[in-house]
């Protein structure tokens, strides 16, 4: 399936780390996990409404609700954008739930654009 002239491709978390110049805060053992698409949002209600399986969540929110939302939606990795650093409680919760956490200095717009340019498409459901 293609989006415009792009072919969708599955991407390893290790490649995402490289593309985003990201630091791994938890889940270093999960870098070979496959990601099918990405979804960027600071509204967890949108994540609950629109996310499918094997999605990478990009967000600027660094609170426990992000990890709990990821757990509910079977999201295995979260990238915090704009250099946001979660506190130790968020990191501990992610570790307990088996969710990888990365952080990048890029804005959400730039991070999503970089991933899209490398072939990782967005996650879309019909409204």
Model confidence pLDDT, tens digit, residues 73-96 = 989 999 999 999 999 999 999 999
pLDDT recorded at residue 54: 76
CB 57 within 8 A of CB 79: yes
- The pLDDT of 39-51, averaged and rounded, is 86
Q: Whole-prediction pTM value?
A: 0.89
The region, left, alpha or beta by phi > 0 then psi within -120 to 50, assigned to residue 22 is beta
pLDDT recorded at residue 125: 58
Cα separation values, 85 from 4, 7, 89, Å: 35, 33, 11
Is domain 2-119 in CATH 3.40.1390.20, yes or no?
yes
| 3-class secondary structure, 21 | coil
Model confidence pLDDT, tens digit, residues 56-67 = 999 999 999 999
């Amino acid at each position: 399936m293609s989006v415009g002239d792009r072919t969708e491709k599955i991407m390893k978390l290790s490649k995402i780390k490289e593309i985003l110049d990201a630091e791994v805060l938890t889940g270093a053992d999960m870098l070979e996990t496959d990601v099918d698409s990405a979804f960027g949002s600071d509204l967890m209600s949108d994540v609950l409404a629109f996310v499918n399986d094997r999605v990478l969540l990009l967000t600027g929110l660094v609170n426990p609700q992000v990890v709990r939302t990821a757990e509910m939606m079977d999201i295995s990795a979260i990238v915090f954008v704009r250099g946001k650093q979660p506190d130790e409680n968020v990191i501990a919760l992610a570790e307990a739930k088996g969710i990888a956490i990365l952080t990048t200095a890029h804005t959400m717009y730039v991070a999503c654009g970089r991933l899209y340019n490398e072939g990782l498409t967005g996650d879309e459901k019909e409204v």
